[in-house]
Amino acid sequence: MTAPADRRFPRRVYGRGTEPDGRFSLANERTFLAWVRTALALLAGGVALEALDLPVEPHLRLTASVLLIGLGIAAPAQAWFGWARAERALRERQPLPAPAFSGPLAAGVALAGVLVLVGLLLG
């Protein structure tokens, strides 16, 4: 038995519309968890890049590391807000919203890769 909407958190999501097909809500939750895994990988990559003694030019290595850690900090916010936006859309029988953070994430990871590559060539 599911909990009444007035007792589920967050109310701004569950207090709207009607209960969607559970398969869609579970798929939305899996997307949320994928973003969290992505955040963990970004954080681990940023820490490892700076913690390991790699032959990368130090300033470029630090910049790439900070960039990856910053993306890793922002990804859980995307996970939460993206989950809430999609769940509200499902409950209100609206089209799903476009992902808001995919572009900046891809650009940031690509930039970090370029920084490491140039750092390797200079280091």
pLDDT in tens, 34-46: 999 999 999 999 9
The CB density around residue 114, as the number of other CB atoms within 10 Å, is 12
Apex CA 64: angle with CA 59 and CA 70, to 5°? 125
pLDDT of 9 above 90: no
pTM, full prediction? 0.87
- Which of 122, 109, 112, 121 has the alpha carbon at shortest distance from 50? 112
Q: What is the mean pLDDT of residues 96-106?
A: 92
Question: Which tokens in the block code for residue 60?
Answer: 């470029």
